[in-house]
Structure 1
Amino acid sequence: MRLPTITAAPGTPPGGPPALGDDGWVVTRHADVLAALTDSRCVVPPVADGPEGSVAWLRASVSRFSPPDRHAARRAVGVAALDPRELRLAAARLTERILGSSSEESVTRARRVPLLVLAERLGPADPAAAATEVSAVAAAYHPGADAAATRRADRAVAALLALSPPAPAEVTANRLGLLVQAADATAGLIDAAVRHGRAVPDGLATATLLAEVLRLDPPVRATRRVATCALNLGGQGVRAGDRLVLRFDAANRDPAVIADPDRFRADPAGMALTFGAGPRGCPGERHALALATGVVDVLRHASGTLIEGSRR
């Protein structure tokens, strides 16, 4: 089985010891990124709170941006009632219906399947309307969005709260956070699988395709941490308060842990760090992979759809 080589995306930094950049320490080696992800002295940067119904309130309420003392409880909320196997089957069924419409936009529409499937299961009264509002929230979900995007996101969060069933505010927020991640990262994983799927043999399992896409072309390329005290990271002295930019895209290609790191592998060794690691590893990993598998399986087996869709 001949597998393709995928070069690193533009902007992927070269591997090496942690180096000071404009926004803190840039961490690229697999061992160093893993160390920072699993070290309790390296925490997620704090975010400002805001009035209930705003995007700032949503950020401050979800597990993704929570301080250590709030993270575990919030982490369990969003995915507690979701069954990965059922999500995969539902994603496959909806993708089949979309492809059956014979629309030229079918592959583009298929990338929204994870969001629609989750919206149907997490309670919004109108899943299609919720999906539209979630897209506006996703554009300003991470701190630093411009004022116009933030205002749109504030209106969208308020609309999503109105669509959501009665529940404690923190429960609703974490369910909405799961929808936002599906709109962004899971859709990005499907896009990348469509792009790279044309080059891999038909016999390559979809699970393998997705695992290697996560390694070679991750939809989330980096995450951030802040050091709470002085520590040694990769031989460098990091001071309390220093910011760390952990580059998944570089760490996933570290030749120290994977030979010929730019080539697809038929036997992924689980070295990709894209879903994080340790206590703050992504709580929705199994659900995201189940949803993406359901979509990509159907696209790969629909005659010519994956290839033609990736050329548009």
Structure 2
Amino acid sequence: MTDAWPVVPPAAGTPACGPPTSAPDGGWQVTRYADVRAVLTDPAFVVPAVDAGPPGTLAWLRATVSRFSAPHLHAERRAIGVSALAALDPDELRREAARLTAATLDRAGDRVDVMTELARPVPLRVLAGRLGLADPVAAGTAVAVVAAAYHPGVDPTLLRRADAAVAALLALSPPAPPQVRANLIGLLVQACDATAGLVGAAAHHLLTPAALRATAGIDGGDLLAEVLRLDPPVRATRRVTTAAVRVGGQDLPAGSPALLRFDAANRDPLAFAEPTVFRPGRPGAGPLTFGAGERGCPGDRHALSLAGGMFDVLRERCQRTRAALRHEPHPTLRVPTSLEVSVR
């Protein structure tokens, strides 16, 4: 352990904390911890509506999963995912993720790309298998295709590929009503980039020689919690007002889009002492990366278990190389494209 924890600068594009600010398009950006939490728990803010589509397509999936559901449909659909996750043992997920990570490193040479070989395939393979999909490896590949097109406004080519991937996932899913199968697939899609981004960020910040020495003996869960705060894989989420509402001293008219910046709120000096300093095990408020309120992530424990199992093995056997780090071009996600480590 060290008494001089490093300062972690914010990622490019992270705004400073302050009152909600308006944008030229009529939307609002919310950056302070208390304001973001207030919006997440206020029924006057809802998720933006998505268009429906023919059964078995990406548009159908988005319109059927709890994440994008209107308030009157959300509870029933969320319960499907909550019930499925309740049947999974987080400790068992952690062990299996660690086992697959170790097996991959055993087969690797002296270098391995954490993102392509581990962070993307391993969590999906474990989770898909435990959720009953017939071929977890094929399911993981299809989920990645769906995740790339999951948010509205992507390239039409990605949409066509995603439609085919949704059809493949439905064929691999256990027999159940369409709404149930859609929400099981939704769990996998939500886990895809978020878990990969967490593992990648942890490897980036904590597998350097200096970081490995400084964090020896410190609980991996505390380390991951601080990575989630300072370099969250999900940087923001969107809401829209259903009525005029006041947030952080600003009046937002009905129909106002709001972009909630987790990356800024997690560095709010009113919520975190020395907010730019990496300090695992810090007391007080937790990061908002998993959301809050009725739409908070239902699989936060499972995601942390999967990432924790992988990270335990990585910190024992791997060290970061000096290869350049780049991230996927995405407005609200922060996921490395590749991250090379040497294998000990």
- Fold-level similarity (TM above 0.5): yes
Q: How does 1:23-34 map to 2 (within 5 A)?
A: 23=25, 24-34=27-37
Distance 1:251 1:209 in 2: 19
The Cα shift of 1:75 comes to 1.6
Distance apart, 1:13 and its partner CA: 0.9
Whether 1:180 aligns to 2:189 is: yes
Bigger drift between 123-132 and 187-196 goes to 123-132
Provide the rounded CA distance (Å) in 2 between the counterparts of 1:82 and 1:217. Answer: 27
TM-superposed deviation, 1:80: 3.4
CA drift of 1:46 comes to 1.1
- The whole-number CA distance in structure 2 between the counterparts of 1:270 and 1:94 is 33
Gaps of 5+ in 2: 324-338
Per mean C-alpha deviation after superposition, the further-off stretch among 23-32 and 214-223 is 23-32
Alpha-carbon offset, residue 265 of structure 1: 1.4
| Contact kept in structure 1, 2:114 and 2:340, CA below 8 Å | no
> Equivalent residue for 1:162?
171
The aligned residue for residue 250 of structure 1 is 264
RMSD of aligned Cα (Å) = 1.5
SS in 2 for 1:125: coil
Is the Cα contact below 8 Å between 2:225 and 2:280 reproduced in 1?
no
Matching of residue 152 in structure 1 with residue 161 in structure 2 = yes
- The corresponding residue for 1:279 is 294
After TM superposition, the score normalised by the length of structure 1 is 0.95
Q: Which amino acid aligns with 1:36?
A: V
Q: Does 1:105 align with 2:112?
A: yes
Name the TM-score, length of structure 2 as normaliser: 0.87
1:140 to 149, 156, 167: 149
Give CA deviations for 1:26-78 in whole Å, capped at 9, x if unaligned: 00011110110010111111111111110111111111111112212222222
Alignment of 1:220 onto 2:234: yes
Contact 1:27 1:244 in 2 (8 A): yes
Residue in structure 1 matching 2:68, options 65, 71, 74: 65
Does structure 1 residue 307 correspond to structure 2 residue 316?
A: no
Identity %: 59
- Asked if the contact 2:28/2:257 (under 8 Å) is kept, the reply is yes
Question: Is 1:4 the equivalent of 2:6?
Answer: yes
- Distance in 2 separating the partners of 1:84 and 1:76: 18
Q: Distance in 1 between matches of 2:114 and 2:265?
A: 30
Amino acid at match of 2:193: D
Indicate the SS of the match to 1:225.
Answer: strand
Counterpart check, 1:297 vs 2:297? no
Per-residue Cα deviation, 1:238-261 (whole angstroms, up to 9, x for no partner): 011001100000000001111111
The equivalent residue for 1:114 is 123
Shift of residue 307, structure 1, vs aligned partner: 2.7
Give the counterpart of 1:231 among 228, 245, 264.
Answer: 245
Contact 1:98–1:106, Cα closer than 8 Å, also in 2: no
Unpaired runs of 5+ residues, structure 1, are none
DSSP-derived class of the 2:72 partner: helix
Q: Which one of 16, 19, 25 corresponds to residue 17 of structure 1? A: 19
Task: Tell me if 1:77 matches 2:80.
Answer: yes
Paired with 1:260 and 1:254, the residues of 2 have a C-alpha distance of: 9
Provide the C-alpha distance between the structure 1 equivalents of 2:340 and 2:97, rounded to a whole number of angstroms: 23
Q: By how many angstroms is 1:22 displaced?
A: 4.0
Say whether the 8 Å CA contact 1:99–1:107 is kept in structure 2: no
User: Secondary structure at the residue paired with 1:207?
Assistant: helix
Distance 2:145 2:20 in 1: 35
Look up the equivalent residue of 1:266 and give its one-letter code.
P
CA distance in 2, matches of 1:225, 1:107: 33
For 1:52 and 1:274, locate their aligned partners in 2 and report how far apart those are by CA, in whole Å. Answer: 31
Aligned 8 A contact 1:99 1:106 in 2: no
Cα deviation, residue 100, structure 1: 1.2
Q: CA deviation at 1:140?
A: 0.5
